Amino acid sequence: MNETTEAARLLAGPALALANAVSAGKVSARSVTEAALARIAQVDPVLNAFTDVTSARARAEAAAIDARRAAGAVLGPLAGVPFAVKNLFDLEGLSTRAGSRINRDRPPAPRDATLVERLTAAGAVCLGGLNMGEYAYDFTGENLHDGNSRNPHDTGHMSGGSSGGSGSAVGGKLVPLSLGSDTNGSIRVPSSFCGIFGLKPTYGRLSRARSFPFVASLDHLGPFARHVADLAATYDALLGPDPDDAALADKPAAPTLPGLEEPGHLRVAVLGGWFARSGTPQAYEAVARAARALDATTVVELPEVERARASAYLITMAEGAALHRDRLRERPGEFDPAVRERLLAGAVLPAAWIARAQNFRRWFRDRAVELFAEWDVLIAPATPVPAPRSGQATFVLDGREMLVRPNIGIYTQPISFIGLPVVAAPIATDNPLPIAVQLIAAPWQEAAALRAARVLERAGIAVAPEPVV
């Protein structure tokens, strides 16, 4: 097998196997990078996952890795692995557009986002910026300015959002790893629709420095991958203190890869109540399959989930409106109207509502922590449906016709509201369109959610399906 063919084969497989091959000198980082660039050139015109392909940067980074290896240096754990990031992450030399038209006027970023720097330090190679819903206020992956990112399992369907390009690029095997953000579900929804693994860590766990914000109270950043060990290794590489993010918690880094294959005894239950209503049969088939494999026979309830979702909805509207207030005044015509109309409504919400929502948030967090005294992992659907058709405006849940956009996140929004760590794990069903479950753990227990995901992966139940592109 020649180097080009071997690089393409490795690119399509696990990231850690690729990194091992690069570290062992079986393939060069340069060849892998060229394979990824070729795959992007071939497939991205269909998926529209990328908004910026940083080919010169990627070639320079790959050459530096190969030079270090030639000099006898030990390479990082993600040596030569191509990755790309939602275009709200700063990439040096690019304007951070955050899915918008307005932000293209910003000066080029002088420095990478912290999480990009960490992946680069681990040896990964940055291939560019990825499509996203405008200012991350989105669950669909549709973008008025850059076009929609498309589902790699049926390009007539949504990728999910707002990290649509991040889901599409990994689901379509353009890159093995990507980064995204999740305020109300924007990592978990594209993971579900694109059939990949995504990790939304605990709120305050990973640095958000030099990423464009949306809702400071609820914003999280995290990785996507096609394999659980890749997800864990990427997350581990992202850990660490950072004085540039005021919301970062003072917690010791707790790497997850070393214990991934030793699940021990995980106490797993299924979330009922709100999470057992409104979903399609496929969503509940996925939950049932995961529950069987994890010996989860008990159904438990979080109280007042509907109020939790409502609180997240209000905080999102208000903080989002506050962030964009000046742009709403000065450049109203340059927003996607679907985003602007919600921000305008958020601009007039009484402050007392938001204060009450933040008080309720602590109450709801305390109820969740009580539940986690008995359980390590809770299973819930990630989305009520597999990916709707692109442009689809309504769907029927529980016999009621509802708008697609705000209701895709009915199961994700109450969980991110209190910052719990979640792995979205794609569960094989008979439908060619994938769907995921949420594996939810107690605060700071990302390792438990990842170990549960690995149990499902080993059992052949959680798997990233092959794309059709």
Partner 1 sequence: MSRQDDTGAGGGGADSGAGALLDAGLAIEGLPLEPELRPRVVMHLATAIAMARLVTSFALPDDAEPAPVYVP
Instruction: List the alpha helices (DSSP H) in 239-350.
Output: 281-293, 305-330, 337-346
Structure tokens belonging to residue 465: 């399906």
Among 104, 251, 356, 458, binds partner 1 (CB under 8 A): 356
Query: Where do runs of H (alpha helix) occur along 387-441?
Result: 404-407, 413-416
Binding of residue 276 to partner 1 (CB under 8 A): no
Among 175-183, 258-266, 351-359, 371-379, which window interacts with partner 1 (CB under 8 A)? 351-359
User: If binding is defined by CB under 8 A, does position 370 make contact with partner 1?
Assistant: no
User: Catalytic residue at 162?
Assistant: yes
Omega before 162 cis (within 30°)? yes
Window of 8-16, 130-138, 150-158, 323-331 that interacts with partner 1 by CB under 8 A: 323-331
**Is residue 328 close enough to count as binding partner 1 by CB under 8 A?**
yes
Residue 60 makes contact with partner 1 by CB under 8 A? no
Binds partner 1 (CB under 8 A): choice among 273, 276, 301, 363: 363
What beta strand segments (E) does 171-242 contain?
Answer: 177-182, 197-200, 220-225
Q: Which is nearer to partner 1, 298 or 358 (CB)?
A: 358
Among residues 67 and 403, whose Cβ is nearest to partner 1?
Answer: 403
Residues 6 or more apart whose Cβ sits within 8 Å of residue 454: 228, 229, 232, 260, 261, 263
Q: Is 86 a catalytic residue?
A: yes
Q: Which of 108, 332, 391, 432 binds partner 1 (CB under 8 A)?
A: 332
> Distance (Å, rounded) from C-alpha 137 to C-alpha 255?
31
Q: Which segments within 72-227 are labelled E, that is strand? A: 82-86, 125-130, 177-182, 197-200, 220-225
Q: Taking CB under 8 A as the rule, does residue 292 contact partner 1? A: no
Compute the half-sphere exposure of residue 70: CA atoms within 13 Å on the CB side of its CA. 10
Q: Which stretch binds partner 1 (CB under 8 A): 77-85, 179-187, 206-214, 336-344?
A: 336-344
One character per residue 401-430, x = contact with partner 1 (rule: CB under 8 A): xxx--xx--x-------x------------
Strands 422-426 vs 436-441: parallel, antiparallel or unpaired: antiparallel
The one segment of 56-64, 170-178, 358-366, 427-435 that binds partner 1 by CB under 8 A: 358-366
Which position among 17, 38, 344, 459 is part of the footprint of partner 1 (CB under 8 A)?
344
Positions in 179-218 near partner 1 (CB under 8 A): 217
Nearer to partner 1, 218 or 435 (CB): 218
Smallest CA-to-CA distance from 416 within 161, 130, 217 is with 217
For the chain, the distance separating the N- and C-terminal CA atoms, rounded to the nearest angstrom, is 24
Size of the chain, expressed as the number of residues it contains: 469
Question: Which pairing describes strands 377-381 and 268-271: parallel, antiparallel, or unpaired?
Answer: parallel
The correct pick among 41, 60, 369, 396 for binding partner 1 (CB under 8 A) is 396
Please count the residues of this chain forming the interface with partner 1, following the rule CB under 8 A: 49
Alpha helices (runs of H) in 48-145, residue ranges in sequence order: 55-70, 114-121
**Would you count residue 351 as binding partner 1 (CB under 8 A)?**
no
Residue number, 265 or 329, with CB nearest to partner 1: 329
Nearest distance, CB of residue 243 and partner 1, angstroms: 14
- Of residues 100, 162, 191, 207, which has the active-site annotation? 162
Return the number of the residue (63 or 349) whose C-beta is nearest partner 1.
349
By CB under 8 A, is residue 322 in contact with partner 1? Answer: no
Helix crossing, 15-23 with 228-238: angle to 10°? Answer: 70
Closest distance between partner 1 and the C-beta of residue 352, in Å? 8
Burial annotation 229-240 (CB, 10 A radius, 16+ → b, else e): bbbbbbbbbbbe
Q: Does 368 bind partner 1 (CB under 8 A)?
A: no
**According to the binding rule CB under 8 A, does residue 243 interact with partner 1?**
no
Q: Which of 163, 166, 181, 186 is catalytic?
A: 186
Alpha-carbon distance 248 to 204, whole Å? Answer: 4
Q: Assess whether 100 carries a catalytic annotation.
A: no
What pairs with residue 158 in β-bridges? Answer: 150
Sign of the CA dihedral with 213 first, then 218, 221, and 224 last: negative
Catalytic residues: 86, 162, 186
Residues that bind partner 1 (CB under 8 A): 217, 278, 304, 306-307, 310-311, 313-314, 317, 325, 328-329, 332, 337, 340-342, 344-350, 352-353, 355-363, 365, 394, 396-397, 399-403, 406-407, 410, 418
